[in-house]
Amino acid sequence: MSEAAAGVPVDRTARALYALLDLSKALGSEVDLDALLTVIVEKASAVVEAQRTSIFVYDAGRDILWSHRGQGITSVIELPMGSGIAGDVACTLQPANVADAYADTRFNRESDTRSGFRTRSVIAAPILDSAGKLLGVVQSVNKTTAVRFDAHDNSLMAAIASHIAVAMERARLTVSFIEHERLSEALKLASEIQMRMLPAGGMMVGEDGPFEIHAYIRPARMVGGDLYDFAVNDGRLYFCIGDVSGKGIGSALVMALTKTLFRANVPYYDDVARLTEAVNVRLCEDTGPTIFVTAFCGFLDLHIGLLRFCNAGHDRPFVLRPDGSAELLQSKPGLALGVLPNFKYPLQELTLQKGEAIFLYTDGVTEATNRNDELFSIDRLHETLEHHGAISALRVIAGVTESIEQFVQGAPQSDDLTMMCVRYRGPDH
């Protein structure tokens, strides 16, 4: 149908199209949501020849509409869904064209009474995203060139709403992308800091040193909840491995706290069980009731090979014999750290013979999953260790890592994976 047949003057149509084009250009150059809404209220009125235009943004979390400060609006107005003409449009997702606002039961005169403004005609349309979900409502009042808005204005208002929806989605996606980039950079930095907190993966005191140790960690995400630590002083090797419940930033923070508590308290304890109890008390004070840490901590006397250890709910390690055999260490699993502040942990002992090693790991090793949802399992770990147990600590861990990767066949890693191997070489090696 031609414009003339539709009864719409050509010059009016041209003005509306130019105004709509001007709005489209303005929206295309702005990505900040607040600035974007300001552009809309300034440009949309020209499209439908209205005295004022308002944007009501839908807050899904609170299920309300809030008005952007714009033409004649000096403060934010909150509307319950269904309240006023805009609230009704938001509920029904249907446009509204009201010739006399005061004759419409949906209209609330309170804002006019406070401001002295007189609302006459109203036109409003829902702003819907690409999935048809509500983003807000655009509302213009008081047609400046006629008594009321007509059918042509309905079409223009629908076009305005479509333009606004695209611009709002783009603005939100842009903000989301920027925040994601910032978060990624923050997580990358957090990961670097977290890894720097851990000692280098391996240590050996000279070619004839009494021990060798190697550790490996691979978080499932950029930051993880697994930890390991070791240090040697005055003929004693301290080592520890741990696993914080859960994943993500919270677990990473508890991981850092746990590692710091162990390392800070090591110089003050000769009894590894009392050391574990001291760490447990602090974790109970500083973490919530839903977070706990499993840990295995040991002191190895490098002169005689005596290993004093404490197990706080952690997976039992393997003892690797010089002949290549491997067996689970018979240890009493105490309660995980951070659960009961007064728990008494048992001190346990084992004498390592020359060439024997202890292999520690977190459950990310045994629970590594392939594409058929099969677990790597403790049995496969045992078999792998018996193939690689008589070689260096570094090669033991490399062998286990290779076996896991062959097993999972590229399936995504679901849990942090951490291993440590400590081999006692004897004081006169």
Lowest mean pLDDT among 10-14, 155-159, 378-382: 10-14
Residue 352 near residue 358, CB atoms below 8 Å:
yes
Lowest mean pLDDT among 43-47, 99-103, 136-140, 356-360: 43-47
Q: Would you give the DSSP letter of residue 314?
A: P
CA 84 – CA 119 distance, rounded (Å): 13
pLDDT at 250: 77
pLDDT grade for 26, boundaries at 50, 70 and 90: low
* Average pLDDT value for residue range 96-107: 94
pLDDT at 163: 79
Termini Cα distance of the chain? 99
Domains, the chain, with CATH or none: 3-172 (3.30.450.40), 189-424 (3.60.40.10)
CA 37 – CA 30 distance, rounded (Å): 10
Measuring CA to CA, how many Å separate 367 from each of 94, 146, 304, 399, 405?
Answer: 53, 73, 35, 17, 13
* Average pLDDT value for residue range 19-33: 61
Q: For residue range 259-310, list pLDDT tens digits in order.
A: 999 999 999 999 999 999 999 999 999 887 788 999 999 999 999 999 999 9
Q: Which long-range contacts (CB under 8 A, 24 or more apart) does 328-331 make?
A: 328/382, 329/358
Q: For residue range 174-214, list pLDDT tens digits in order.
A: 767 666 666 666 556 656 666 666 676 555 544 567 999 99
pLDDT over 70 for what percent of the chain?
82
Other C-beta atoms within 10 Å of 328: how many?
Answer: 12
- On the question of pLDDT at 419 being above 50, the answer is yes
pLDDT at 121: 95
Lowest mean pLDDT among 158-167, 325-334, 365-374: 158-167
- On the question of pLDDT at 365 being above 90, the answer is yes
Other C-beta atoms within 10 Å of 11: how many?
Answer: 8
pLDDT at 304: 95
pLDDT at 194: 62
pLDDT at 312: 96
Q: pLDDT averaged over the chain?
A: 84
- On the question of pLDDT at 171 being above 80, the answer is no
CA 299 – CA 288 distance, rounded (Å): 29
CA 228 – CA 199 distance, rounded (Å): 8
pLDDT at 20: 63
> pTM here?
0.61
pLDDT at 35: 72
CA 145 – CA 138 distance, rounded (Å): 20
- On the question of pLDDT at 38 being above 90, the answer is no
- On the question of pLDDT at 2 being above 60, the answer is no
pLDDT at 410: 87
- On the question of pLDDT at 146 being above 70, the answer is yes
- On the question of pLDDT at 245 being above 50, the answer is yes
